[in-house]
Amino acid sequence: MPGCVIHGAGDLRVEDVPSPVPGPGEALVAVRYGGVCGSDLHYWRHGGVGDFRLREPMLLGHEVVGTLVAYGSPDTAGPAGGPRPAAGASVAVHPATPCGVCPECVDGRRNVCRDTRYLGSAARFPHVQGGFAARIVVPAEQVRALPAGLDPRRGALAEPLSVALHAVRRAGDLTGRHVLVTGAGPIGCLVVAAAKAAGAARVTVTDLLPAALEYARAAGADTLVRADDPDDSGWPGEVDTAVEASGVAAGLDTCLRLVRRGGVVVQLGMLPPGQSPFPGNLVVSREIELRGAFRFDGEFDDALRLLAAEPAFDALVSAVVPVRDAASAFELAADRSRSCKVLLDFGAAPAG
């Protein structure tokens, strides 16, 4: 069966990978769609993301929806606190398996678990293989039935929307606030939607690319600003809260300069490896709260509910590409002048 394997920087291959067999407590999922994420693009272009480097071939992908094929036996485990999807059900896969026993897990911050397993991530070695394959095996408690009426195509946004919901939660109460989002990639656009859903009165988005800003508009942004145009009339004098979603130091600079005194800046975009310059004295003299946001935990279920309720999310899925053309899908996803979220299509679920 086809799988999308990264062997090193610039070396992405669609190759035949063995079909996995579920063990006790595991579920076999026939993947329908897999969203190409910024981190997948980083592995492809640079052989790593942030401070995580690729050290062996790895199946990419962690934004997957599909059909539940079977549970391994004995099949005792199921999603915590929810009904277990039956064979044949459309499901989304929560990509994280926190360890459950480290200080962060015990403290209720499972998204920063120091020993987590995350689909398609080189953070640990051996790497955790990802979800870009026609069939995958995952812990049974990680599968979630798609809510009634949620099309799998839109459901493929559940993972990145969870990331956005977590960042918004980290920002604190946004009710009635003016929120700045730097970066209108798929994550930035989903932060716009999440901020609006959380009650933000106004969301201003900056990006270098007009096409990306139009996706942010579709996600509900009120004001669009060309980041490279200091004379753009959309620049706010001051905002209450800022979410940095571009992953470049210039974006963090913008957030720190525009947030009000005592305001919150959430760094969500993964910055380049190593050190990044930022105007640290503003953090001091304005008592700005600079907070990180990394992945998510329970937000996955919230994301599925939000997606089911809001058809406008469909506008953010800009292309669906057969897995055999994965190389062109990655090229497309990397060109933000032509795309927002790009999905790989693994085809309809085979019988059995």
Q: Whose Cβ is closer to Zn ion: residue 39's or residue 206's?
A: 39
96/258 with CB nearer Zn ion: 96
Question: Would you say 95 or 263 has its CB closer to Zn ion?
Answer: 95
> Shortest distance, CB of residue 268 to Zn ion, whole angstroms?
12
Among residues 88, 190, 194, 83, the alpha carbon closest in space to that of 141 is found at 83
Q: Minimum distance between the CB of residue 45 and Zn ion, rounded to whole angstroms?
A: 15
CB nearer to Zn ion: pick between 154 and 178? 154
CB of 144 to Zn ion, least distance (A): 16
What are the distances in angstroms from CA 73 to CA 31, 169, 178, 242?
21, 38, 51, 48
Q: d(Cα 6, Cα 56) in Å, to the nearest integer?
A: 9
Q: How far is the CB of 80 from Zn ion (least distance, A)?
A: 15
Residue with Cβ nearer Zn ion (280 or 292)? 292
**Strand 48-49 versus strand 58-59 pairing type:** unpaired
* Surface-to-core class of residue 324, CB atoms within 10 Å of its CB (0-12 exposed, 13-18 middle, 19+ buried): middle
> Measured from the CB atom, is 101 or 284 closer to Zn ion?
101
Q: Which of the 8 DSSP states describes residue 274?
A: S
Question: At closest approach, how far in Å is the CB of 162 from Zn ion?
Answer: 9
Nearer to Zn ion among residue 89 and residue 102 (C-beta): 102
Residues of the shown chain interacting with Zn ion in the complex, contacts defined by CB under 5 A: 37, 63, 98-99, 102, 105, 113, 160
Question: Where would I find the H helices in 179-236?
Answer: 186-197, 210-218
Distance CA 135, CA 3 (A): 9
Could you tell me the smallest distance in angstroms from the CB atom of residue 235 to Zn ion?
Answer: 30
Per DSSP, the three-state class of 11 is strand
Q: Which is nearer to Zn ion, 46 or 84 (CB)?
A: 46
Give the list of residues 6+ apart from residue 35 with CB closer than 8 angstroms, or none.
Answer: 61, 63, 64, 156, 157, 159, 160, 186, 341, 342, 343, 344
Q: Where are the beta strands (DSSP E) in the chain?
A: 2-8, 11-16, 26-35, 48-49, 52-53, 58-59, 64-71, 90-93, 96-97, 117-118, 135-139, 143-145, 178-182, 202-207, 223-226, 239-244, 259-267, 289-292, 317-322, 341-345
Please state, in angstroms and rounded to a whole number, the distance separating the CA atoms of residues 19 and 179: 46
Question: Distance between CA atoms of 152 and 68, rounded to whole angstroms?
Answer: 13
For 217-228, b/e burial (b = at least 16 CB within 10 A) is bbbbbbbbbbbe
Q: How far is the CB of 48 from Zn ion (least distance, A)?
A: 16
CB of 14 to Zn ion, least distance (A): 20
Q: How far is the CB of 167 from Zn ion (least distance, A)?
A: 13
Cβ proximity to Zn ion: between 102 and 198 the closer is 102
